[in-house]
Amino acid sequence: MEIKSSNESIATVEADAVVVGVYRGQLTAAADEIDRENGGVISRLLELEEFKPDVGKVLPLYFPTGCKSPIALVAGLGERDQWNRGTAYRALGTATRWLTDRKRRSLAIAADPAWTVAQLEGGVAGAVAGCHGPGLYQAEAKRFQPEQLLWLGTSDDSLSSGRIIADGVVLTRRLVNEPPSTIYPETFAEQATAVANATGMGCEVWDEQQLANERCGSLLAVARGSSRPPRLVILNYQGGDKNVAPLALVGKGVTFDSGGLSLKPSDGMLAMKCDMAGAATVLGAMQAIAQLKLPVNVIGLMGLVENMPSASAYKLGDVLTARNGKTIEVHNTDAEGRLVLADVLCVAVDRGAERIIDLATLTGACMVALGNDVAGVMTNDQAWCDTVMSSSQSCGEPLWQLPMFAEYGEQIRSSVADIKNVGEGRWGGAITAAKLLEEFVDKKPWAHLDIAGPAFLEKPKPWSDVGGSGIYVQTLVEVARSL
């Protein structure tokens, strides 16, 4: 799909559809033009409240006068003073999702000249994401990417960062949507290697032997039940001064989570190809950060395993030794993500990271606490957490903080080993999981994002098909920009 600016106007552009925006109580210049040429049809529909210009709402006008395109899609933009990057993502995603239900060769979107580059970035990312669905393997496609996405009223320069960020979001979504027989640790690592080669990032892939040499006993235990060998990918982007400590982005990459011997019921297993969404988010963000050539140092670490039951699987009661020497007693093999991340966080620390963000589809408990639309964030350093939260806020990718009271750490004490891998009972499960992770960050500023809810949509949104959501790629890019 080609994404480019066009000098044409709403009147002259020859596209299969044009998108024009309407705020509450205010038409954009492009919408106003269509309105005036067509006897005030938009203003009259607004007056009658036949169309409410909220984000997530669209209204098609067919064969509008003064326009060479057969459809003008009026997109709701919501309140003008609440317009931001996040609403831009959603409003334009809704428009392209509406227009890509059948083959249309070219779509033109009228950008409001008042939009900032950040808002345009969000809009481009949303518009591109809206063109992509989960039907990677359908004989008859249900979503059709246009050949061209034309942007009126802006320049190729202003579009370039949006295009890069959109590519990152689409990469993350595609990886999450691929089936587990296609994306497993080795193939995920190949995808990461390809991204590194294309963008000039450093890339290390640790295989089983190297993971053993590097004392990653906790990650290796989870991998043991599977015929698919594990991998650890370490991407290194150096855009800043050599002496500046890197930001570490750490992702949970469980390419399929059956639960292991603590086997999940079938219903709970169905969506578990999404359990590598943390790693996919890190990869999407690393690609964008490298392509944007940000003047910062970032390492991206992805712990890749498949969690399976078998004769060789790790068992309840096993005691694992993680890379930093701490011992972990296994009480539930379905609490595997924290065991994978334990070792990967140690590697991040050993690589000199002075700031860490991890992303993981870690607990169902976080979904019980917060629902599907927001990730939980937990931290050992409030200032760092505030930085991450303000970046997420500015992207319209919400985070909600959960407390890290010391009492919750007591729950993971073990009578056999240093710690055990679950708390006492189900309550506060998102926090007890984070408390385990905290044991492996060596007191470095760290924020843990439990993305179990928003990483994978079971129901569509107006701006997004079901499946991988690609959420938090933009947040990570914004954090890297804020350093």
Residue from the set 16, 33, 121, 257 that interacts with Zn ion by CB under 5 A: 257
**What secondary structure letter does DSSP report for 419?**
E
Q: Which stretch binds Zn ion (CB under 5 A): 1-9, 271-279, 289-297, 365-373?
A: 271-279
Which residues are within 8 A (CB) of 291 and not within 5 positions of it... i.e. 6 or more apart? 164, 167, 199
Rounded to a whole number of angstroms, the minimum distance from the CB of residue 365 to ligand BES is 6
8 Å CB contact between 361 and 452: yes
CB of 298 or CB of 335, closer to ligand BES: 335
| Cα 182 from chain centre | 20
Out of Zn ion, Mn ion, ligand BES, none, what residue 309 binds, judged by CB under 5 to 8 A for its kind, is none
Residue from the set 43, 199, 321, 332 that interacts with ligand BES by CB under 6 A: 332
CB of 284 or CB of 337, closer to ligand BES: 337
Number of residues in contact with Zn ion, rule: CB under 5 A? 4
Q: Is 252 a catalytic residue?
A: no
CB of 254 or CB of 320, closer to Zn ion: 254
CB of 35 or CB of 257, closer to Zn ion: 257
CB of 13 or CB of 274, closer to ligand BES: 274
Interface with ligand BES includes 334 (CB under 6 A)? yes
CB of 222 or CB of 347, closer to ligand BES: 222
From 338, 420, 435, 444, the catalytic residue: 338
Q: Is 338 a catalytic residue?
A: yes
Q: Compute the distance between CA of residue 481 and CA of residue 338 in angstroms, rounded to an integer.
A: 28
From 68, 264, 351, 461, the catalytic residue: 264
Q: Which residues bind Mn ion (CB under 5 A)?
A: 257, 334, 336
- Cα-flanking dihedrals φ and ψ of residue 437, to 5°? -60, -40
Q: Compute the distance between CA of residue 457 and CA of residue 273 in angstroms, rounded to an integer.
A: 13
Interface with Zn ion includes 275 (CB under 5 A)? yes
Number of alpha helices (DSSP H) and beta strands (DSSP E) in the chain: 16, 20
Interface with Zn ion includes 337 (CB under 5 A)? yes
Q: Which residue is nearest to ligand BES (CB)?
A: 364
Whole-Å CA distances, 423 to 180, 330, 411, 428: 29, 11, 5, 8
Whole-Å CA distances, 143 to 76, 128, 133, 324, 457: 22, 12, 6, 47, 17
**Secondary structure element (H or E) that encloses residue 35, with its range:** helix 29-37
Interface with ligand BES includes 431 (CB under 6 A)? no
Interface with ligand BES includes 422 (CB under 6 A)? yes
Rounded to a whole number of angstroms, the minimum distance from the CB of residue 372 to ligand BES is 10
Q: Compute the distance between CA of residue 450 and CA of residue 176 in angstroms, rounded to an integer.
A: 16
Other residues' Cβ atoms within 10 Å of the Cβ of residue 109: 28
**Secondary structure element (H or E) that encloses residue 278, with its range:** helix 277-291
CB of 259 or CB of 284, closer to ligand BES: 259
Interface with ligand BES includes 365 (CB under 6 A)? yes
Residue from the set 255, 363, 411, 464 that interacts with ligand BES by CB under 6 A: 363
The binding track of 255-274 with respect to ligand BES, each residue x by CB under 6 A or -, is --x-----------------
Rounded to a whole number of angstroms, the minimum distance from the CB of residue 336 to Mn ion is 5
Interface with Zn ion includes 16 (CB under 5 A)? no
Q: In what order do the strands lie in the sheet with 247-257?
A: 202-206, 231-238, 297-307, 247-257, 355-360, 446-450, 375-379, 399-401
Q: Is the dihedral of CA 286, 290, 295, 299 positive or negative?
A: positive
Strands 399-401 and 71-78: unpaired
Q: Tell me the catalytic residues.
A: 264, 338
Binding site for ligand BES (CB under 6 A): 257, 275, 332, 334-337, 361-365, 422, 429, 452
